[in-house]
Chains A and B, each alone.
Chain A
Amino acid sequence: GAGVSQSPSNKVTEKGKDVELRCDPISGHTALYWYRQSLGQGLEFLIYFQGNSAPDKSGLPSDRFSAERTGGSVSTLTIQRTQQEDSAVYLCASSLRSTPNRAAWYFGDGTRLSIL
């Protein structure tokens, strides 16, 4: 597709289970970002991948969260032993790192994660 694709669009799971969220960025985009939006909150930075560089993981809230990006394309965000406070909309965005236009971020529609 032409845009950033995220799956699943909705995920409901029980507390303590592990979940995997997937992001397919726009082809050719070297930068990929994960953010989350909890109810009534702004967008919270989680992790940033840029090409083959080491990712910026400074936003991950705990060691239960991890992410990888295989082959410089698809990214998976994994949350282990989920807690109710993990409930949020998880948003992925991609951009062309070399673009001088900082506006060229494209967001997916997000995964709405609900922990029961």
Chain B
Amino acid sequence: DQQVKQNSPSLSVQEGRISILNCDYTNSMFDYFLWYKKYPAEGPTFLISISSIKDKNEDGRFTVFLNKSAKHLSLHIVPSQPGDSAVYFCAAREETSGSRLTFGEGTQLTVNP
């Protein structure tokens, strides 16, 4: 049972444009959501997060939007840069599971110069 799903395995955008990465979840008990970025042969690194009591969090070029009613979140990167090319993982935490995170399958973002 995949509780966190990233339905797009890949996304390609032009440099300077907006990248929108999507994530859907099924567990209404998730209370915290995170995005991680992963380069080849490296571990994931934290990018941005959002609590379930908010609907938007912004950090520089990165903004995460949460739509609880739709159980959907998205990561917006604007403007996109070639260095943003990486695999992006959506993750969610359920309060009762302690610190454990549930990850999506990841989306490979390619930003073309």
Please give the residue numbers on chain A whose beta carbons come within 8 Å of chain B beta carbons, in ascending order: 4, 31, 33, 35, 40-45, 48, 50, 56, 91, 93, 95, 97, 102-110
| A45 & B43 in contact (Cβ 8 Å cutoff) | no
Is there a chain A Cβ closer than 8 Å to B102's Cβ? Answer: yes
| A35 & B49 in contact (Cβ 8 Å cutoff) | no
Of B11-19, B74-82, B103-111, the one with at least 4 CB within 8 A of chain A: B103-111
Known interface pairs A42-B103, A50-B99; A102-B32 also in contact (CB < 8 Å):
yes
| A50 & B32 in contact (Cβ 8 Å cutoff) | no
| B100 & A110 in contact (Cβ 8 Å cutoff) | no
Q: How far is the CB of A36 from chain B (nearest CB, A)?
A: 11
A103-B32 Cα distance, complex, nearest whole Å: 10
Q: Which of B32, B43, B98, B102 sits near A91, CB closer than 8 Å?
A: B43
A107-B87 Cα distance, complex, nearest whole Å: 15
Is there a chain A Cβ closer than 8 Å to B41's Cβ? Answer: yes
Q: Which of A35, A97, A110 sits near B99, CB closer than 8 Å?
A: A97
Known: A43-B89, A50-B98, A102-B32. 9 other contacts (CB 8 A): A4-B43, A31-B99, A33-B100, A42-B6, A43-B103, A43-B106, A56-B98, A91-B43, A110-B41
A97-B99 Cα distance, complex, nearest whole Å: 8
Q: Provide the residues of chain A in CB contact with B89, threshold 8 Å.
A: 42-43
Q: Provide the residues of chain A in CB contact with B104, threshold 8 Å.
A: 42
Residue ID in chain A nearest B45 by CB atoms? A107
Q: Which of A56, A95, A104, A107 sits near B43, CB closer than 8 Å?
A: A107
